[in-house]
Amino acid sequence: MRFSHPVFRLKRQARLLSRAAGIPLNQALDRIAVAEGFKSWGQLAAKASVERPAGAMLAQLAPGDLVLLGARPGHGKTLLGLELLAAAAQVGRHGFFFTLDYTDADVIDRVRAIGVEPGTLSSSVTLDTSDGICAAHIIAAMDAAQPHSIAVVDYLQLLDQRRQNPELADQVAALKAFAQKAGHVMVLISQIDRAYDPGSKPLPDLSDVRLPNPVDLSQLTKSCFLQDGEIRLDAVA
C-alpha cells in the first residue's frame, strides 16, 4: 500500500490536527493512519519501517564519528535522530537524547510518531531535557556510558545560548575529542539557513548550515541532510 504523502508529511499533518482539534498527538496520528487505510498509526509505522533509513545510516557510523544531521523545519531531522537511537537499542547499544528544544512529553509524542512505544526504550535510551545542556554537560552525562554509545543532540545552534557557556566552536571541538577518546558517536541536529532553495539543489549541504556563531565544520566526520523525504549521508573531507 502506498501512502498519499511521505511519512514525515503525514506526521506533520498529525501535529497540525492535534493542535487544531485539541486532541493528543497519538489520537491525531491514528486518525491520519485511518485515512491512509490503516487501523492505527502503529500499523502504518510498521509498514513504513522497511523504508526507514535509520538502520542503514547507523551501520555507516563508526566509533568517534561527529555527525551533523541537518534539514529545514518539518523535514524529519529530529524524528530521524530518534529512529537512530531506536535502531541502536535494537542491537544492544545505549543511546542518549539531549534536547534544549523539547519537553519530556514532546519527546514521548515523537517516539510514538515513529511507531515505537516509549517504554521499550526506557532502559536503553537516556533522555535529558535539562536547561544546562552544553558540551561539558553531555560529556559528564556520558562519562560512564558503555562503549559505542550514540548521542543525539537537539540542536547544535542552542548549545551556546547561555552566555556562560563556551563558544560554540569550542564545544564542538570538545565533543569531537570526547567521541574519539571514548569511542562514541555524536550526532548534532542542525538548523539550515532560510536562504536554502530546494529549487537550486535537491538537498542542503554544509554551506547551508545556519551558523550564527563561527564553527569549523571540517571537524565533522560525516554529514547527513534531509529534504522532502530524501536523505544523503556523506563523509566530510
DSSP per-residue string spanning 147-213: TT-EEEEE-GGGTT-STTSPPHHHHHHHHHHHHHHHT-EEEEEE-B-TT--TTT-SS--GGGB--SS
Q: Is it the case that residue 52 has pLDDT exceeding 70?
A: no
Q: What angle do CA 35, 41, 44 make, to 5 degrees?
A: 80
Q: Does 237 have pLDDT greater than 90?
A: no
| CATH class label, 53-235 | alpha beta
**C-alpha cell, 175:** 565533543
Q: How confident is the model at residue 1 (pLDDT cuts 50, 70, 90)?
A: low
**28-41 tens-digit pLDDT:** 999 999 999 999 98
Per-residue pLDDT reduced to its tens digit, 171-184: 999 999 999 999 99
Query: Which are the contacts of 56, defined by CB distance < 8 A and separation ≥ 6?
Result: none
Q: How confident is the model at residue 11 (pLDDT cuts 50, 70, 90)?
A: confident
Residue 9 or 13, more confident:
13
Task: Give the separation between CA 100 and CA 79, rounded to whole angstroms.
Answer: 15
Residue for grid cell 558540551? 135
pLDDT at position 51 over 60: no
Judged on CB neighbours under 10 Å (0-12, 13-18, 19+), 20 is: exposed
Average pLDDT, the chain: 92
| Amino acid in the structure at residue 166 | P
pLDDT for 50 beyond 60: no
The span from the CA of 42 to the CA of 26, in Å, is 10
- Residue-wise pLDDT for 133-154, tens only, equals 999 999 999 999 999 999 999 9
The residue extents of the domains of the chain are 7-50, 53-235
Q: What is the mean pLDDT of residues 100-113?
A: 92
Q: Which regions of the chain does DSSP assign to beta strands (E)? A: 66-70, 95-99, 125-128, 150-154, 185-190, 222-227, 230-235
